[in-house]
């Protein structure tokens, strides 16, 4: 069941009404409803793997509880901790990466024709949301092991946290300590937050339907036929893909946050206007924030701690390994590995130049515009990100290489063969609205709030109409495949 | 070493790493309130503190830090 599907449009109001009018007695009844709704949601989306989700919840809940009863630094505690990590990573490796690793080894062995091994990939389906929920569970075990948090005894709330339907399919990767306290007390209906949530959903739907869906039709036609495209068309395709991917995933995240607000539960905002970043470090603090924070907490920090005596070399090593994993997290393909490595490499000049670049808050003039220097930095960051997106979009390294070759050929200076001018106008308007609202949680958070009610509702009606009239062909959210 | 002396030395380190003193050095100070104190600069600050006081932290201790006050106490406990 996708957020943009008709079934979700039926499902959500039912859950909303039951939550506030029937199951509103205590926090437990509220959680029973949310958990039941989440199970129904997951069953409809991917019934085959509901048992995997349940197993993940049971095992991690009990492991954390038993682990912490063992003495600090004891063998028993360490053993249980590592068993838990092996369990979670094992699930992920099996379902997501097994074929990829075997295939890569086979290719390596067959490289010089000394041996010839054939390999037929196993038929393994990818459980929906697996990368998101296993990361949440790993984070939980690490935090309990490090005594940053106490393990919870409340299995109902813990299961609700794990399966919570607004975030189960594509995140955000929420931390237990941010989520659990919210659902371990009775939620009261909050009219302002509900309206805010609905506005965020509307904005997310607009991004997904009008921008992402329309853009992806164009980029698909460009990249699926990349052989016959000029360098300029491919380059334009890459720019469109960057914006399309942002509209798609941030649109999804807005809907997720908005839906959650309807239940008076705040979840992490995954995006903070990344395209207005002046360097790559700033970009990654604003793009898929919950994944980057997870990686920073659980991968980068230990790595940079271990290598801290090697100063900048240690930092570079840690950041590159972290981004290698960020890349690989997206899927079992070398294109994602290269995507991650590329991002890591972009950090090297920043680290060598030191901390001066960390203060990257934008100063604007009286017209609300950035300085020319900052504008050029924003453009440079966008260009670097867009070049990386070619790896992200390509189906193989060979394909990405061919695209890069074409872009660096003389055909880069030809006029693109595909010129969706109407799309450029939509994108321009969109970017202007985003710029104007860049200090808020989402671009239209505070827009029109001072207008009379009638006018406001008129605007909502127009946006809804735009979604219906200009919404592109229905397409799956890209991050569902991760 | 007195608490105030530790606080002053840590402040000098933070200012030299972040290249600004636009923060109020108090026990309640948290990294997110300080411009530029992010994951990248955090470990540089930590290593500089280790070198200055000739101490070694454990990762577990760092993970438990809540604010500047707890950092000062941790340093004090190791001197």
ipTM for the predicted complex comes to 0.90
Q: A203 and A145, same structural domain?
A: no
**What would the two tokens of residue A414 be?**
């030809």
Say whether residue B66 is in contact with chain A using an 8 A CB cutoff: no
Domain ranges of chain B: 3-78
Give a yes or no: residue A428 inside a domain.
yes
Q: Is residue A59 part of a domain?
A: yes
**Range A147-165 burial, b when 16+ CB lie within 10 A, else e:** eebebbebebbbbbbbbbb
Least confident of A16-20, A78-82, A361-365: A361-365
Closest CA to B37 of B71, B9, B14: B14
Per-residue pLDDT averaged across A323-339, rounded? 94
- Residue A362, φ and ψ in degrees, nearest 5: -80, 135
**N- to C-terminal Cα distance for chain A?**
16
Q: Which residue has the tokens 């999804």?
A: A252
On average, the pLDDT of chain A sits at 91
Domain end residue (candidates: A140, A160, A188): A188
- Residue A405 domain-assigned (yes or no): yes
- Same structural domain, A169 and A51: yes
pLDDT given at position A358: 55
The verdict on A201 and A183 lying in the same domain is no
Question: How does pLDDT run across A24-51, given as a tens digit for each residue?
Answer: 999 999 999 999 999 999 999 888 899 9
A308 → closest Cβ in B40, B46, B64: B46
Q: Of A157-161, A409-413, A445-449, which range is least confident? A: A445-449
Q: What is the DSSP letter of A76?
A: H
Do residues A151 and A68 both lie within one domain?
Answer: yes
State how far the Cα of A285 lies from the Cα of A178, in Å rounded to an integer: 18
Based on the domain organization, do A197 and A183 belong to the same domain?
no
Q: Check whether residue A269 and residue A373 sit in a common domain.
A: yes
Q: A136 and A123, same structural domain? A: yes
Are residues A107 and A398 in contact, defined by beta-carbon separation less than 8 angstroms? no
CB contact, 8 Å: A18 with chain B?
no
B2 lies within 8 A of chain A by CB: no
Burial class (CB in 10 A: 0-12, 13-18, 19+), B56: exposed
Report the 10 Å Cβ neighbour count for A104: 14
- A119 occurs within a structural domain: yes
Using the Cβ of A302 and the Cβ atoms of chain B, whether some distance falls under 8 Å is answered with: yes
- Domain-embedded: residue A331: no
Residues A60 and A106 in one domain: yes
Residue A348 maps to a domain: no
Given CB atoms, is A73 within the 8 Å cutoff of chain B? no
| Confidence class for position A58, pLDDT limits 50, 70, 90 | very high
Alpha carbons A101 and A4: distance in angstroms, whole number: 34
CA distance B48 to chain A (A): 10
Other CB atoms within a 10 A radius of the CB of residue A217 amount to 15
Residues A17 and A46 in one domain: yes
Q: Are residues A237 and A109 in the same domain?
A: no
Q: How far A276 CA sits from the closest chain B CA (Å)? A: 17
Query: Nearest by CB to A296, which of B20, B39, B59?
Result: B39
CA–CA distances in Å: residue B65 to residues A192, A334, B42? 35, 38, 12
Residue A353 lies in a domain: no
Residues A177 and A211 reside in one and the same domain: no
Cα A129 to Cα A150: distance, rounded to the nearest angstrom: 26
Tell me if A357 is assigned to some domain. no
Residue A364 bridge partners (DSSP): A370
Is A146 in contact with B63 (Cβ distance < 8 A)? yes
Domain end call among A151, A166, A188: A188
A301 touches chain B (CB under 8 A): yes
Number of domains in chain A: 2
- A163 and A62 in a common domain: yes
Domain extent for A265: 192-278+362-481
Chain A residue nearest residue B14, CA to CA: A355
The 3-state DSSP class for residue A163 equals: helix
Superfamily of domain B3-78: ACP-like (1.10.1200.10)
What was the pLDDT predicted at A356? 45
pLDDT at residue A18 tops 50: yes
Domain boundary among A159, A188, A217: A188
Closest among A298, A326, A391, A265 to A131, alpha carbons compared: A326
CA angle B37, B40, B46 (to 5 degrees): 70
């Amino acid at each position: 069941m996708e957020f943009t599907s008709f079934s979700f449009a039926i499902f959500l109001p039912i859950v909303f009404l039951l939550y506030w009018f029937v199951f509103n007695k205590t926090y437990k009844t509220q959680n029973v409803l949310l958990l039941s709704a989440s199970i129904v949601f997951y069953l409809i989306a991917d019934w085959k793997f509901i048992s995997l989700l349940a197993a993940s919840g049971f095992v991690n809940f009990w492991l954390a509880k038993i682990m912490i009863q063992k003495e600090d630094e004891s063998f028993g505690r360490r053993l249980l901790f590592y068993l838990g990590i092996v369990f979670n990573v094992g699930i992920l490796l099996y379902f997501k990466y097994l074929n990829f690793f075997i295939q890569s080894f086979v290719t390596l062995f067959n490289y010089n024709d000394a041996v010839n091994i054939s390999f037929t990939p196993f038929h393994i389906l990818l459980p929906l949301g697996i990368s998101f929920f296993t990361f949440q569970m790993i984070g939980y075990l690490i935090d309990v092991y490090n005594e940053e948090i106490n393990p919870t005894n409340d299995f109902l709330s813990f299961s609700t946290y794990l399966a919570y339907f607004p975030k189960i399919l594509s995140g955000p990767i929420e931390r237990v300590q941010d989520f659990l306290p919210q659902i371990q007390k009775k939620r009261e209906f909050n009219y302002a937050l509900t309206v805010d949530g609905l506005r965020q959903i509307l904005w997310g739907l607009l991004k997904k339907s009008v921008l992402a869906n329309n853009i992806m039709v164009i980029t698909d036609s460009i990249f699926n036929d990349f052989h016959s495209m000029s360098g300029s068309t491919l380059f334009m395709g890459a720019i469109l893909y960057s914006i399309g991917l942002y509209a798609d995933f941030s649109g999804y995240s807005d809907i997720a946050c908005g839906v959650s607000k309807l239940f008076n539960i705040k979840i992490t905002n995954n995006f903070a206007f990344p395209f207005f970043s002046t360097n790559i470090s700033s970009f990654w603090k604003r793009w898929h924030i919950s994944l980057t924070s997870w990686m920073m907490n659980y991968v980068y920090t230990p790595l940079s701690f271990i290598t801290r005596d090697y100063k900048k070399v240690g930092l570079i090593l840690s950041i590159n390994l972290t981004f290698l994993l960020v890349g690989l997290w997206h899927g079992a393909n070398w294109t994602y590995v290269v995507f991650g490595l590329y991002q890591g490499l972009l950090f090297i000049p920043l680290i060598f130049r030191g901390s001066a670049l960390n203060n990257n808050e934008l100063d604007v003039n009286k017209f609300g515009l950035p300085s020319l220097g900052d504008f050029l930095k924003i453009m440079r960051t966008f260009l670097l990100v867009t070049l990386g997106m070619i790896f992200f979009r390509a189906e193989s390294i060979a394909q990405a290489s061919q695209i890069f070759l074409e872009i660096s050929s003389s055909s880069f200076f030809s006029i693109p063969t595909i010129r969706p001018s109407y799309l450029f106008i939509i994108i321009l308007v969109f970017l202007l609205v985003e710029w104007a609202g860049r200090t808020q949680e989402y671009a239209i958070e505070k827009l029109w709030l001072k207008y009379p009610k009638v006018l406001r509702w008129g605007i909502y009606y127009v946006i809804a109409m735009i979604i219906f009239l200009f919404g592109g062909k229905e397409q799956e959210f890209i991050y569902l495949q991760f | 070493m007195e608490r105030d002396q530790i606080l002053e030395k840590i402040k000098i380190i933070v200012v030299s790493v972040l290249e600004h003193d636009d923060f109020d050095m108090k026990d309640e100070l948290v990294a997110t309130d300080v411009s530029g104190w992010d994951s990248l600069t955090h470990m540089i600050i930590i290593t500089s503190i280790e070198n200055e006081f000739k101490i070694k932290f454990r990762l577990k201790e760092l993970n438990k830090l809540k604010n500047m006050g707890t950092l000062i106490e941790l340093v004090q406990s190791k001197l």
